[in-house]
C-alpha cells in the first residue's frame, strides 16, 4: 500500500505516497496551498475554489487531487495567485463583512488569507444586499452577512441519527445556510461550540460564548506574513526643492483616521520637514489654495456635500489615497445601507426615546446637504489611486505608505500593521 511516487510541484520534485491528498503532500514539503473550506481530506468540499492549481495543465481544485506518478503541479504562478486573491475579493464584495465589529476578527481564516495576499480593496463593487441574521435557534446565531457558504457546517455537524443540523436553502445568489431549529436544541454545549469553531468566519455564533480577546493577542495577530505591495507610476507634478503638498479630508468618517495620522507623535515634526498641509481639518485653509500632490480621504460618501468635496479633491490632487475602511468600503456607517433612509431619519427625529411629544420635524433645509440613499465607498464615485486599510490604520503604516508613494520607493508592510479592524 505504501506506493511511493514522484511528482513535481512548481518545478520541485517531491516523493509522496500514491493517492494522498495534494494539499497535505504540498504542506509536508513546505509548499503552502491556501484553503478555506478544506477541513479534512476524507471529504473535500471544493466549494471555495481558492486552492485551484494546475495539474498537468488543467485547472482543478487542489483539495480533490490525489497524487499520482508523474503529475506536474503548478501552484504559485502569477495567474493562479491572482485567481485566489480574486475569489477572496469576490467574497468580500458579496457579503457584508464589517471586520471592525465582528466577533471573529483576528481569528478569521478569510481575513487572514486577505492579509497574507495584501488585499487592500476589492476590485468588485460591493453588493450591500440585506441578509437576515437568524436569532431564532436556542443557543446559536446564524449571521448570514458573513457566511461564505463553504459547506463545512452542513457536512460536519450532524445529530446522533446522522441528520443535518445546517442546510443550504434556495439557489444561486439566494443560497443561505439555515439552522434546523428542532435539531439545534438537541445539540450539546460542546457540539455547539464545535460548530462555532468549525466555521472559518464569524457566521456561526454561540450566545454567551463569544470570547473577547485582547487586540494584538488573537490567533492571526500572532501568525502571518509581511507583504510587499507594488507602487504604481505616479503622476506627481513636483518641482525640485518643493515640499510635498498634502490635503486631507474626512467625509463620512469618525475622524479616527485623522487621529491616527497624528499618532506618530513627535515624528510629526519630522514629517513637516518634507510636507506642508493645504486644505485639511487641521489647518484653517478652507479651500484649495494650490494644487496638491496627495490627497488623503477618510470616510465614504453619505451626503451630497461629501460627493462634492470628494470630486473636488479628485480635481485638485495628483494622487488620491483612501485610508480607513470607511473610505475603502463604506465602513461602519455603511451599515445604514440595509435600512431604508426613511427609517433612519424617523428613528432619530420622530420616534426616539427622548423626542418631544408630537415631534414632526425632520431636518431638511437649503443650508444642509441632502442625504444619499446609501453610503458609497469613495471608489464608486471617483477613481482612487491607493488604499490603506484599517479602522483606523496604524499610524506608522499610514505615513510609511504615504512617504513611499511620494518618494516612489518600494516598501513592505509588516503583518502587525496590516489590519482591517
Partner 1 sequence: MSQKLVIDPVTRVEGHGKVTVHLDDKNKVKDAFFHVVEFRGFERFIQGHPYWEAPVLVQRLCGICPVSHHLAAAKAIDQIVGIDPLDLSLPAQKIRKLLHFGQVFQSHALHFFYLASPDLLFGYDADPLKRNVVGVAMEYPSLAKKGILMRKFGQEIIKLVAGKRIHGISTTPGGVHKKITVKERSYFLDGKDLPSIDTMIDWSVEIIDFIKEYHQKNKTFLDTFATYPSGHLGLVKKENGFLELYDGNLRATDAEGNITLDDVPDVDYNRHFYEGVEKWSYLKFPYLKHIGREKGWNRVGPLARINICDGIETPLAEQERKAFKAATKGKINNMTMYTHWARLIEILYCAEMMKNLLEDDDILSNDLVRKGKRRDEGIGIIEAPRGTLIHHYEVDDKDRITRCNLIVSTTHNNEAMNQAVRWVAQNEISGKPKVTEAMMNQIEVAIRAYDPCLSCATHAMGQMPLELTIFDQYGNILDERIRQ
Partner 2 sequence: MTKVDRSRLMDVIWGIQRKKRYIGHDDITKIAQEFNMSRMELEGVITFYHFYHRTHSGNFTIYLNDSIISQFAGRKSVLKAFEEAIGVKLGNVTEDKMFGLFKTPCIGLSDQEPSCLINFRPFVDLTPKKVFDIISKLKDGKMPYQICDSPKSNIRYTPKEDRTVFFKPYKKFSSLSHLKKYDPEEVIDLVKRSKLTGRGGAFFPTGLKWQFCRHNKADVKYIICNADEGEPGTFKDRVLLQEHPELLIEGMIMAAYAVGASKGAIYLRAEYMYLKEPLEKLLAEYRKNGYLGKILNVKIPFDFDMYIHMGAGAYVCGEETALIHSMEGKRGEPGTREYFPVDKGYKGKPTVVNNVETLCAVPKILEIGLDKYLALGTDATPGTKLLSVSGDCKKPGLYELEWGMKLRDFLNLIGAKNPNFILFNGFAGECLSSADFDREISGENLLSDHIQFYFKDPIEYARKMSGIGLRSGGSFMVFDKKRDLVEVLKNIADFFVAESCGICVPCRTGNFLLNKKINKLILGHAERQDLEDIKDWSKIIKTTSRCGLGKMSSTALNDAILKFPEVFEKRLSDNTDFNQAFNLEDATADYNRIINEMTSDYE
136 binds partner 1 (CB under 8 A): yes
Site stretch for partner 1 (CB under 8 A), options 13-21, 84-92, 168-176, 258-266: 258-266
Does residue 273 bind partner 1 (CB under 8 A)? no
Nearer to partner 2, 168 or 268 (CB): 168
Binding partner of residue 205 among partner 1, partner 2, none, CB cut-off 5 to 8 Å per kind: partner 1
Q: Supply the minimum distance, in Å, between the C-beta of residue 282 and partner 2.
A: 26
The entry of partner 2, partner 1, none that residue 151 binds, CB within 5 to 8 Å by partner kind: partner 2
**Conformational region of residue 118, where left means phi above 0, alpha means psi within -120 to 50, and beta covers everything else:** left
- Residue 222 interacts with, from partner 2, partner 1, none (CB under 5-8 Å by kind): none
* Contacts (CB under 8 A) with partner 1, residues 34-73: none
Angle at 238 between CA 236 and CA 244, to 5 degrees: 90
Label residues 105-134 b or e (16+ Cβ within 10 Å = b).
bbbbbbbbbbbbbbbbbbeeebebeebeeb
CA proximity to 318, closest of 250, 244, 398 = 244
Binders of partner 1 in range 142-171 (CB under 8 A)? none
Beta carbon of residue 400, minimum distance to partner 1 (angstroms, whole number): 17
Q: Which does 170 bind (CB under 5 to 8 A by kind): partner 1, partner 2, none?
A: partner 2
CA distance 154 to 374: 34
Look-up of cell digits 467574497: 91
Query: Out of partner 1, partner 2, none, which partner does residue 254 contact, by CB within 5 to 8 A per kind?
Result: partner 1
Give the position of cell 497524487. 67
Please choose, from the candidates 402, 392, 153, the residue with its C-alpha nearest in 3D space to the C-alpha of residue 277. 402
Question: Residue 379: which of partner 1, partner 2, none does it interact with, CB under 5 to 8 A by kind?
Answer: partner 2
- Minimum Å distance from CB 250 to partner 1? 5
Pick one of 251, 317, 329, 402: the residue that binds partner 1 (CB under 8 A).
251
Specify the long-range contacts of residues 179-188, CB closer than 8 Å, at least 24 apart.
179/134, 179/136, 179/137, 179/140, 179/142, 181/136, 181/137, 181/138, 183/159, 184/137, 184/138, 184/139, 184/140, 185/137, 185/138, 185/139, 186/159, 187/139, 187/157, 187/159
* Interface positions, 209-228, toward partner 1 (CB under 8 A): 210, 212-217
- What is d(CA 273, CA 282) in angstroms, rounded to the nearest whole number? 17
Smallest gap, in angstroms, from Cβ of residue 396 to partner 2? 30
171's CB contacts (< 8 A; 6+ apart) are none
Task: Please choose which of partner 1, partner 2, none residue 383 contacts, taking the beta carbon within 5 to 8 angstroms, the exact cut-off set by kind.
Answer: partner 2
Among 127, 223, 262, 407, binds partner 1 (CB under 8 A): 262
How many C-alpha atoms does 161 have within 13 Å on its Cβ side?
5
Residues 340 and 362: their CA atoms lie apart, in Å, by: 15
Q: What minimum distance in Å lies between the beta carbon of 94 and partner 2?
A: 4
Q: Are 258 and 264 in contact (CB under 8 A)?
A: no
Q: Is 381 in the site for partner 1 (CB under 8 A)?
A: no
* Nearer residue to partner 1 within complex by CB, 226 or 276: 276
Which of positions 76-105 make contact with partner 1 (CB under 8 A)? 100-101, 103
Nearer to partner 2, 183 or 193 (CB): 183
How many residues bind partner 1 (CB under 8 A)? The answer is 87
Let me know: does 275 contact 342? Beta carbons within 8 Å. Answer: no
Per partner kind, with CB cut-offs from 5 to 8 A, the member of partner 1, partner 2, none near residue 306 is partner 1
Amino acid at each position: 500500500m505504501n506506493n511511493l511516487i514522484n511528482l513535481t510541484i512548481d518545478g520541485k520534485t517531491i516523493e509522496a505516497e500514491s493517492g494522498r491528498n495534494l494539499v497535505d503532500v504540498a504542506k509536508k514539503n513546505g509548499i503552502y496551498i491556501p484553503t478555506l473550506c478544506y477541513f479534512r481530506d476524507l471529504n473535500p468540499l471544493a466549494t471555495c475554489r481558492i486552492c485551484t492549481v494546475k495539474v498537468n495543465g488543467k485547472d482543478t481544485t487542489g483539495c480533490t487531487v490525489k497524487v499520482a506518478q508523474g503529475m506536474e503541479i503548478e501552484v504559485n504562478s502569477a495567474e493562479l495567485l491572482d485567481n485566489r486573491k480574486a475569489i477572496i475579493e469576490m467574497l468580500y464584495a458579496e457579503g457584508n463583512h464589517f471586520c471592525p465589529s465582528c466577533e471573529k476578527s483576528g481569528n478569521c481564516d478569510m481575513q487572514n488569507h486577505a492579509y497574507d495576499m495584501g488585499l487592500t480593496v476589492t476590485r468588485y463593487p460591493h453588493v450591500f444586499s440585506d441578509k437576515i441574521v437568524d436569532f431564532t435557534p436556542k443557543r446559536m446565531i446564524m449571521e448570514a452577512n458573513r457566511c461564505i457558504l463553504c459547506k463545512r457546517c452542513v457536512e460536519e455537524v450532524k445529530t446522533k441519527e446522522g441528520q443535518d443540523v445546517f442546510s443550504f436553502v434556495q439557489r444561486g445568489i439566494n443560497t443561505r445556510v439555515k439552522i434546523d431549529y428542532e435539531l439545534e436544541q438537541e445539540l450539546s454545549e460542546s457540539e455547539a461550540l464545535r460548530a462555532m469553531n468549525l466555521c472559518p468566519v464569524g457566521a456561526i455564533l454561540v450566545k454567551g460564548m463569544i470570547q473577547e480577546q485582547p487586540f494584538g493577542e488573537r490567533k492571526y495577530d500572532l501568525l502571518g506574513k509581511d507583504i510587499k505591495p507594488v507602487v504604481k507610476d505616479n503622476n506627481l507634478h513636483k518641482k525640485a526643492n518643493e515640499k510635498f503638498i498634502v490635503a486631507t479630508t474626512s467625509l463620512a468618517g469618525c475622524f479616527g483616521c485623522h487621529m491616527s495620522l497624528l499618532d506618530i507623535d513627535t515624528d510629526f515634526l519630522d514629517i513637516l520637514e518634507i510636507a506642508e498641509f493645504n486644505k485639511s481639518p487641521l489647518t484653517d485653509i478652507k479651500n484649495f489654495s494650490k494644487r496638491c500632490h496627495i490627497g488623503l480621504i477618510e470616510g465614504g460618501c453619505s451626503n451630497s456635500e461629501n460627493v462634492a468635496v470628494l470630486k473636488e479633491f479628485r480635481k485638485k490632487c495628483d494622487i488620491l489615497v483612501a485610508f480607513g475602511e470607511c473610505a475603502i468600503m463604506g465602513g461602519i456607517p455603511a451599515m445604514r445601507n440595509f435600512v431604508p433612509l426613511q427609517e433612519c431619519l424617523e428613528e432619530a427625529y420622530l420616534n426616539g426615546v427622548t423626542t418631544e411629544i408630537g415631534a414632526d420635524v425632520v431636518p431638511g433645509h437649503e443650508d444642509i446637504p441632502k442625504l444619499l440613499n446609501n453610503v458609497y465607498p469613495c471608489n464608486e464615485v471617483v477613481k482612487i489611486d491607493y488604499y490603506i486599510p484599517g479602522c483606523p490604520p496604524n499610524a506608522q503604516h499610514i505615513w510609511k505608505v504615504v512617504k513611499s508613494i511620494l518618494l516612489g520607493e518600494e516598501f513592505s508592510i509588516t503583518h502587525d500593521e496590516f489590519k482591517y479592524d
